[in-house]
Amino acid sequence: MAKAIGDLVAEAEAEADANLELRQSWNVAPTTDVPIVLERLIDGQLHRQVHVARWGLVPGWAKDLSVGVRAFNARSETAESKPTFRAAVKKRRAAVPVEGYYEWKKEPGGKKRPYFVHAGDGSLIFFAGLYEWWKDEDGSWILSTSIFTMESPQESEPGVLGELAGLHDRLPIPMDKDMMARWLAPMDEDGAGLIEQLREQAFDVASQWAMHEVNSAVGNVRNNSPELVEPHTSQLF
């Protein structure tokens, strides 16, 4: 996420604490900080807020943060029944805004080429996610998050959907504006019903995406600059 906080807050139609700090990044890895959008009832009023969370969900019962290393994604088919995710599915749902994401396409011979997937109009993508609060031994609270995934489209799908099928067999689940409002609503505890709705609208949202090849430097998380998302053409031999 490299957008200014003000732009993020405006596009999410949310509010942010004056002390919110968000470090620009073009190469985000699990266990690092990412922005999330959530809704809370405060004195009977619904507030949509932007927070910063650790990417990798750590449920309140976890003994240490290492649980989050294995929980940066949640499979939509099973999340409702998994101990790590099931409580959050009912009450702590979030949206994870991104400007895009990287995926590696495997070519004949085993070579892989990285691609940057993003909204065709340059707007933010809001992935369906979860959030949890975890209390450390020193008494501090850590906010963490996970992103929902589903099976990718079929290669026979037209346009970018067919291209996405060639990148990976899983797809992070995007939301349109109306779905995000339903997903974030803390009053609705029908997790199974909301997940079904997520899956039904995901491909319609993803069909508006675009993608282009980028430099293989994205494979090293130490590399972090705007050049990483610029178009690049590899030489295949």
In a domain, 24, yes or no: yes
CATH number, position 38:
3.90.1680.10
Q: Strands, DSSP E only, in the chain? A: 15-16, 33-42, 45-55, 73-75, 93-98, 101-106, 112-119, 125-135, 141-151, 170-172, 209-213
The mean pLDDT of 37-43, rounded to a whole number, is: 91
Rounded Cα distance, 182 and 194, in Å: 8
pLDDT score, position 53: 95
How many domains does the chain divide into? 1
Tell me which residue range forms the domain holding 84: 5-229
pLDDT score, position 2: 67
Q: What is the pTM of this model?
A: 0.93
State the virtual CA torsion across 72, 78, 83, 85 in degrees, nearest 10: 40
The mean pLDDT of 158-183, rounded to a whole number, is: 95
Instruction: Give the residues across from 73 on adjacent strands.
Output: 147
Buried residues in 161-183 as b, exposed as e (16+ CB within 10 A):
bebbbebbeebbbbbeeebbebb
Residue pLDDT, tens place only, 73-121: 999 999 999 999 999 999 999 999 999 999 999 888 778 999 999 999 9
Residue pLDDT, tens place only, 182-230: 999 999 989 999 999 999 999 999 999 999 999 999 999 999 999 999 9
Residue pLDDT, tens place only, 125-158: 999 999 999 998 888 999 999 999 999 999 999 9
Instruction: Give the residues across from 211 on adjacent strands.
Output: 117
In a domain, 234, yes or no: no
- Within 10 angstroms of residue 155's Cβ, the number of other Cβ atoms is 11
In a domain, 100, yes or no: yes
pLDDT score, position 180: 97
Rounded Cα distance, 74 and 173, in Å: 10
In this prediction, residue 7 has a pLDDT band, given cuts at 50, 70 and 90, of confident
